[in-house]
Amino acid sequence: MPETPEYDGIVIHFGELWLKGRNRHDFISTLMRNITLAMPEKYNSKLVKLRDRLIIGVHSNEDVGICMDMLSNIFGISWFAPFRKSGTDMDSIISVANSFFNAGENVKIEPHRSDKTGQMTSKDIVSNFIKRQAELKFVPEKLGEKKLYIDVLGDFCIVHSKKRKGLGGLPVGTSGRAVVLLSGGIDSPIAAYYALKRGLEPIYVHFYAYGSIDELYGTKMPKILDSLLKYHPRAKVYAVPVHLFQISVMKEQQKYEVVLFKKFIYETAQIISEMENAKVIVTGESLGQVSSQTAENLAATSQGIRCLIFRPLLGFDKQEIITKSKELGMYDISIMPYKDACSLRSRNPVTRISPAALESIYSRAGLERIPMQSIEKAYIGFWNGKSIERSLG
Ligand code: ATP
Ligand code: MG
């Protein structure tokens, strides 16, 4: 076995390379902010931009493990790899390369010249490896299974062999802010994941039916927030009680409860989006999945909502959502028992309500004032892993 190589750092390459001009600048500076936010503090000064890549300096193999795990959850990264630095001369490159492989391994040499001022071309580098085979532990082979990447950058090279694929997408924040309606179910955390993936910065809004915030903290909701926090560690949360809604709809027929609840949460989300300067509301709805998600009911409940409503799961089958939920390690949390915000027990919920009919029942139930009154009773602040650090509300 080779000795575990001591790496000098991790090199990070971003995706969406067609971004130009100002967009590109925002992309990179937001990505740097997000990496810094996610990294333990001691690495903060170690992140630098080097042309079209980012570099994190490390001092130990333990650092490498910690940083690699953290980077695998950050949107906007196409790949990353631990590297060693070498000089631009063949002696130096060969000595680093030898530390990466086992004796006799077949290795494809992949040189890349980011800086073309040096004398050796990429072809020269490959043919030098072949000429100096006797000095190599490994076998340079065109069809080699393993890869040796040599990135020539002016007066030094970045040498690496273990590329890891990143999550892709856009850095969280580059698409602005979104109010993400997060229930206790399977779908909305996955919708949140896809919203974050396209660069939306989340403000999580949850409507709860428990008697107190401490009771809510004892449920699966903190676990759901934690599982999303790894994709963006700074999340503002609104925990909005639903008792005012429940009292208001008590006199209405049960078949309307679901659509009334939906309209109530959209209206509340709209007020929050104005308070938070968000342009978008994100939900976990998927067309036709349940009665409230028919095209007619989606149209009626979203009538009058000025924000864009994004439904990232619109075209997903339930099974596809479940598969993704399992892949992200969220499924076991999402299926834990939970007290639903509205009874949702109506045997025959209305499947096709007109906007006018819904509007009229909504106002008959006195629901127009309820969103603002509920926000006044909400717990609002940043999620710190245990509780909402209340800032106002
Ligand atoms: P989920 O699996 O996300 O709970 P669902 O299949 O149960 O979704 P609905 O109950 O119709 O479907 O909810 C549709 C969407 O409305 C949810 O995905 C979520 O975005 C939002 N929503 C529902 N209930 C709540 C809640 N209590 N708090 C916040 N958002 C909610
Ligand atoms: Mg639900």
Structure tokens at 270: 């709209």
User: Does 1 reside within a domain?
Assistant: no
Q: Whose CA is nearest to atom 22 of ligand 1?
A: 183
Q: What's residue 144's pLDDT?
A: 84
Atom of ligand 1 nearest to the CA of 292: 11
Is the domain of 219 the same as that of 358? Answer: yes
Q: Distance (Å, rounded) from C-alpha 116 to C-alpha 154? A: 8
Is the domain of 80 the same as that of 197? Answer: no
β-pairing verdict for 280-282 and 139-140: unpaired
Measured CA to CA in angstroms, residue 220 lies from 182, 228, 303, 389 at distances of 12, 13, 32, 18
Is the domain of 183 the same as that of 156? Answer: no
- How many independent structural domains does the chain possess? 2
Is the domain of 93 the same as that of 55? Answer: yes
Domain boundary among the residues 102, 133, 165 is at 165
Confidence of residue 345 (pLDDT cuts 50, 70, 90): low
Decide if pLDDT at 136 tops 80: yes
Distance from residue 286's CA to the centre of ligand 2 (Å)? 12
User: Does 297 reside within a domain?
Assistant: yes
User: Does 171 reside within a domain?
Assistant: no
Is the domain of 157 the same as that of 190? Answer: no
Say which CATH number the domain at 106 has.
3.30.2130.30
Which ligand is nearest the CA of 286, by number?
1
Is the domain of 144 the same as that of 234? Answer: no
Domain boundary among the residues 119, 136, 165 is at 165
Is the domain of 201 the same as that of 342? Answer: yes
- Residue among 150, 183, 168 at smallest CA distance from 261: 183
Say which CATH number the domain at 207 has.
3.40.50.620
User: Does 356 reside within a domain?
Assistant: yes
Q: Whose CA is nearest to atom 23 of ligand 1?
A: 183
What's the pLDDT tens digit per position in 147-186?
999 999 988 999 999 999 999 999 999 999 999 999 989 9
Is the domain of 189 the same as that of 136? Answer: no
Q: Whose CA is nearest to atom 17 of ligand 1?
A: 284
| 291 Cβ inside 6 Å of ligand 1 | no
Is the domain of 196 the same as that of 118? Answer: no
Q: Distance (Å, rounded) from C-alpha 384 to C-alpha 235? A: 9
Measured CA to CA in angstroms, residue 340 lies from 186, 205, 223, 319, 355 at distances of 13, 15, 17, 22, 25
| 257 Cβ inside 6 Å of ligand 1 | no
Percent of the chain with pLDDT over 70: 95
| 289 Cβ inside 6 Å of ligand 1 | yes
| 265 Cβ inside 6 Å of ligand 1 | yes
Domain range for 286 is 177-382
For range 128-141, the mean pLDDT: 94
Atom of ligand 1 nearest to the CA of 334: 2
Q: Whose CA is nearest to atom 20 of ligand 1?
A: 283
Q: Best substitution site from 179, 180, 186, 187 to test ligand 1's pocket, by max atoms within 8 Å of Cβ?
A: 187
User: Does 58 reside within a domain?
Assistant: yes
Is the domain of 300 the same as that of 334? Answer: yes
User: Does 387 reside within a domain?
Assistant: no
Q: Distance (Å, rounded) from C-alpha 196 to C-alpha 207? A: 21
Is the domain of 226 the same as that of 338? Answer: yes
Q: Distance (Å, rounded) from C-alpha 87 to C-alpha 92? A: 5
Task: For tokens 């809510």, name the residue.
Answer: 216
Confidence of residue 18 (pLDDT cuts 50, 70, 90): low
| 207 Cβ inside 6 Å of ligand 1 | yes
What's the pLDDT tens digit per position in 33-63?
999 999 888 777 789 999 889 999 988 888 8
Is the domain of 247 the same as that of 284? Answer: yes
Name the residue with higher pLDDT: 341 or 232.
232
User: Does 98 reside within a domain?
Assistant: yes
Domain boundary among the residues 116, 131, 165 is at 165
Output the pTM of the full model.
Answer: 0.93
| 284 Cβ inside 6 Å of ligand 1 | yes
User: Does 392 reside within a domain?
Assistant: no
Q: Whose CA is nearest to atom 6 of ligand 1?
A: 187
| 242 Cβ inside 6 Å of ligand 1 | no
Percent of the chain with pLDDT over 90: 78
Q: What's residue 344's pLDDT?
A: 54
Alpha helices in the chain (DSSP H): 21-38, 61-71, 90-98, 122-131, 187-197, 213-217, 221-229, 243-249, 257-276, 295-302, 318-327, 331-334, 355-364, 370-376
